[in-house]
Amino acid sequence: MHNTLQLLIFDQSDNMLEELIRTIRDSGQALYTHTIQNLADLESKLDQHQWDLCCITNRSDHALSPATIFSQIKSRNLDLPALLLFDQSHQAELGDIDPVSQALNDGYVDASPLDQIERIQHILKREIENLRARRINRAAESRLDESEERCQLLLESSDDGIAYIHEGMHIYANQQYLSLFGYPSMEELEATPIMDLVGTTSRDLFKRQLKSFGNDEQEAVDFQLSAKRADGTEFELPVSLIPAVYDGETCIQLVLRGETSHSPAIQTSSTRDSTAPSGGILSRRELLNLLTQRVEQAGQTEQIAAFGYLSIENMSEIVDNLGLLGYEQLLEQIDVFLSRHLEPELSFAHHTDHVFMILCSSSTKEELYSWAEKLCGQLIDHTFEVDHKSLHLACSFGISRITDPQETIEAIVVHSEQAAYTAGGQDNGSAAVFIHETNETADKSAALAQLDDFKDAMVHQALFLMYEPVIGLRGIGGELYELHTGILDSDGNELFGEKLYALAEEAGWRAKFDRWNILNGIKALSTHIAKGHDTALFIKVSHHSLCDESLVPWIGVALKAAAIPSNRIIFQITEFDASTYLKQSKLFVEGINKINCRAAINEFGIGRDPLRTLQHLDADYVVMAPMFTEDYDGHQDKFTQLVGALQAEGKLIMVPGIDSPGFVSKLWQLGINYIQGPYLQEPHSQMDYEFDLEAG
């Protein structure tokens, strides 16, 4: 847009707008004006010059009506806002008609009395800013169109086979992709599901990859695929799955590197020379393949393998300071550092933006801990130089020892990730180490029996609900309970809480378990409210539910069927899940808020910077981590700081695990809103706690 305001005037009186024009110029705004005299003049000026605004007065008595003016502007597809300026002394001629309303109905952007110069200036400023924004937006859209055209040309000319998949069907494939599979045109491929192009030996693998794809923060999934051509012949080639958007649809991009590709194939452990050394820097996929081998060999040697999750805690601040180019340089320097400080036989890989995976081993847990502390100490003491800036890293290191050949890779990675998260919250300065290790002396047969009991209870709907009261310390009305679900094992013992969650996770049924809890919790609450109770229910959900886009609409249907107010359900998300699956957690909380449910973050305060996670989630309640109750003296400073910060944000704070009356007075003095624990009441089969007695 010009620095000079280009103003087109429709007024036969030469001095009608003279004061307005003088005032605009006196304010420092450069101004070029032209007064239209007739239709030919209008057509000429619209064709030869770009105007910013036009002002039309109701004192104009020439033949150019507003309809004629707007018609000429529209026929040229011009973005030229028009402002009506009227003389209030002629208001009597209009009768009861409001000139502003009439002007807006006629297509003007606004209207103002001629003598209200300051108001007119505000209108002009607003419309100029709006016009500038529209022109910037159109320019951006034009550049986007050009960029998309270039991307389309790159897709068509790529040596790699590239396709976009939405809900299992092809919505685009380039010529190389069509050639790889032997399809003559995209029209024939459009009606073909992606699974029809997957070979027999890879179908289960491909289904698992599609099912799990997008459930974590990884940018791509790489693996070796057995593919099937249109004529039924099968062939092997590397494939990458990448999240993408094509033609406005969220989908998956498939990149296939066939024999004719000039691009280097993705190197996996299956394509590497089997005699090549396993130490040093590997790709993420190579390291996970190597981890699989170590799991299979668990217990066969005196050296116990371990998987390390090294998290750079201050990476986000570093990226903000360095930018993406500097970030890439820093990653290269960290790679060099690890290559120099790790033993030659140890392998490592870059996992996500701030995480490195290390495959290591040791004879004892103490030896592993000592090694990990030494590595972290060397890392934080090292000065990295990027773009003439000196950088020091803060890190947490979580390690999971591999002792069970039946343990899944997913479980090992999750355990090490949780260990790193725990280490990050131990207030040990810039570096912290925590080792997760399964209990090798545990009775595995008993554990398997409990897993069978859980599966049997799920299949036969033999679970039962329990309710733990949540008590308000500050006279807050209403009844609050937390929902627990339990089963009876084959020995008649009750299993509920974290033990049952672990069994659901081990069975691979945690998402199904969450839905059972939600549905039956809503039904029970509906029955209880129908009896005249003012009750709300806390229900826990796992990261599996956070990643399930169909869950929130399903919850809405369940609530509607139960005919209870949506705000009576409060969904609890652990701080660990919220930080690990931040994008999914944010979408989930936004979704439940739209249907008027509420959110709570529980197990809060474990991480290094829990408040940062909370900034992204609109949660009403915060449930403190049990460690603050179990060891209040050891965590008092951190607890007090977090409580103050949460109160400043207007959060309702709950402290669980209260097992004695002495602690309650401290919490009341700190301004805690709710408490919960065995001192008040253990989980019970009925919602029958006497809240009125507490209020009294």
**Per-residue CA distances from 154 to 31, 251, 560 (Å):** 46, 19, 49
**What's the pLDDT band for 524 if we cut at 50, 70, 90?**
very high
The three-state secondary structure class of 408 is coil
How confident is the model at residue 260, as a pLDDT? 38
Assign 689 to helix, strand or coil: coil
Question: C-alpha distances in angstroms, 489 versus 249, 451, 459, 511, 650?
Answer: 47, 9, 14, 21, 43
Helix (H, G, I), strand (E, B) or coil at 271: coil
Q: Where are the domains of the chain?
A: 5-137, 158-256, 280-436, 444-687
Sign of CA dihedral 143, 148, 151, 153: negative
Q: Output the CA torsion 262→266→272→276 (10° steps).
A: 100
Superfamily of domain 280-436: Reverse transcriptase/Diguanylate cyclase domain (3.30.70.270)
Block residue for tokens 């919602």? 687
For residues 337 and 46, what is the distance between their CA atoms, to the nearest angstrom?
65
- Coil, helix or strand at residue 246: strand
d(C-alpha 537, C-alpha 542), whole Å? 17
Mean pLDDT of 2-26: 73
Hey, what are 480's tokens? 């609050």
Task: Please give the structure tokens belonging to residue 455.
Answer: 């599966």
Which ranges constitute the DSSP H helices of 342-443? 365-381, 409-424
CATH code for the structural domain at 444-687: 3.20.20.450
Please give the backbone phi and psi of residue 249, each rounded to the nearest 5 degrees, phi first. Answer: -100, 130
Are the C-beta atoms of residues 80 and 56 closer than 8 Å to each other?
no
Q: Which pLDDT does position 46 carry in this prediction?
A: 86
pLDDT higher than 70, residue 402: yes
Confidence category of residue 693, pLDDT binned at 50, 70, 90: low
Do 483 and 537 touch, CB atoms closer than 8 A? yes
Judged against a pLDDT cut of 90, whether residue 490 lies above it is answered with no
- Select the highest-mean-pLDDT range: 225-239, 310-324, 405-419, 585-599: 585-599
Residue 440: the pLDDT is 45
Report the alpha-carbon distance of residue 612 to residue 578 in Å, rounded: 11
Q: What gap in Å lies between CA 57 and CA 64, rounded to an integer?
A: 11
DSSP state of 193: B
Q: How many CB atoms lie within 10 A of CB 39?
A: 14
Does the structure show a pLDDT above 90 at 552?
yes
- Beta carbons of 561 and 592 less than 8 angstroms apart: no
Confidence of residue 271 (pLDDT cuts 50, 70, 90): very low
CA atoms within 13 A on the CB side of 40: 0
SS3 239: strand
Q: What is the DSSP letter of 172?
A: E
Distance of CA 192 to the CA centre of its chain: 32
Burial class (CB in 10 A: 0-12, 13-18, 19+), 406: exposed
Q: Is 80 exceeded by the pLDDT of residue 198?
A: yes
Positive or negative CA dihedral for 145, 149, 150, 152?
positive
Quickly state the pLDDT bin for 465 (edges 50, 70, 90). Answer: very high
Find where tokens 């209030």 sit: 88
Residue 361 tokens read as 């081993």
Q: Quote the pLDDT of residue 206.
A: 86
For β-strands 598-604 and 384-386, DSSP reports them as unpaired
The mean predicted confidence, pLDDT, of the chain is 81
- pLDDT, tens digit, 9 for 90 and up, residues 656-692: 999 888 788 888 888 899 999 988 888 988 998 888 7
Average pLDDT estimate for 438-453: 59
- Tell me the CA distances in angstroms from 466 to 486, 487, 512, 683, one per residue in order: 7, 10, 18, 6
Q: Which CATH number fits domain 5-137: 3.40.50.2300, 3.30.420.10, 2.40.10.340, 3.20.20.70?
A: 3.40.50.2300
Task: Tell me the CATH number for domain 158-256.
Answer: 3.30.450.20
pLDDT digits (tens, 9 = 90+) for 52-65: 888 888 765 555 77
Cα–Cα distance for residue pair 97/477, rounded to 1 Å: 54
Residue 442 has pLDDT above 70, yes or no: no
**Rg (the chain; Cα; Å):** 33
Q: How far apart are CA 389 and CA 633, in angstroms?
A: 40
Q: What is the mean pLDDT of residues 88-93?
A: 61
The kind and range of the H/E element at 557 are: helix 551-562
